[in-house]
Amino acid sequence: MTVPLTAYLVVGALLFAIGLYTVVAQRSAVMILMGVEVLLNAIGLNVVAFWRFTAPGDYSAQILAILVVTVGAVEMAIGLALVLLLYRQRRTAEVDAYADLKR
């Protein structure tokens, strides 16, 4: 393992920062969901990197990564269904137009 653990973690941190920027700055709901996917990728990368470098004999970390992907899939399906429904009603996918859902 010539590449140290810190290198993987730095990549994960960069992905996390980019995902955070996307979630905050983007206007379209689909783009926000893409940012959430990047955030989940960063988390999975961190988990797998820690597994490989600190406890390679215990495969529980991979179970956690699989469960993160699964929950991400459900979140994606529900989120896209919501966006599709709202887009059908309001003809826009920008989350600013959904502000009255807060009530």
Partner 1 sequence: MTAAFELTAFATCAFVAVAGALGMTTTMSMFRSGIFLMASFIGVAGLFILLSADLIGLLQVMMYIGGFLVMILFMVLVMHDPGGAMMAGMDLAPLERWSSLGLVPRRPAEAGPDGHRQGEAGDRTAATGHGEGHSGTHPPRPGGEARGDHAEAHDGAAKAMPHEAQGGHGERAAHPHGQAAHGHDHAPGGGHGGMDMGGMDMSMVTPVRPVAAWLALGVGAVLVGMLVLRPAWPVMPDAVPDADSARRVGHLLMEKYMVAFEGAGFLILIGIFGALLLARPSTYPDDASRAAKVAVDAEPEPIRNDRLAPRATLNGVAEPAPDHGAHRRHGGHIG
Return the residues of window 20-39 that contact partner 1 according to CB under 8 A: 20-22, 24-28, 30-31, 33-35, 37-38
| Interacting residues with partner 1 between 44 and 103 (CB under 8 A) | 44-45, 48-49, 51-57, 59-60, 62-63, 65-67, 69-74, 76-78, 80-85, 87-93, 96-97
Q: What is the dihedral of CA 17, 22, 25, 27, to 10 degrees?
A: -170
Q: How far is CA 21 from CA 58, 76, 89, 91, in A?
A: 34, 19, 28, 25
Using CB under 8 A, pick the residue from 5, 101, 102, 103 that binds partner 1: 5
Q: Which is nearer to partner 1, 17 or 102 (CB)?
A: 17
- Report d(CA 23, CA 55) in Å as an integer: 32
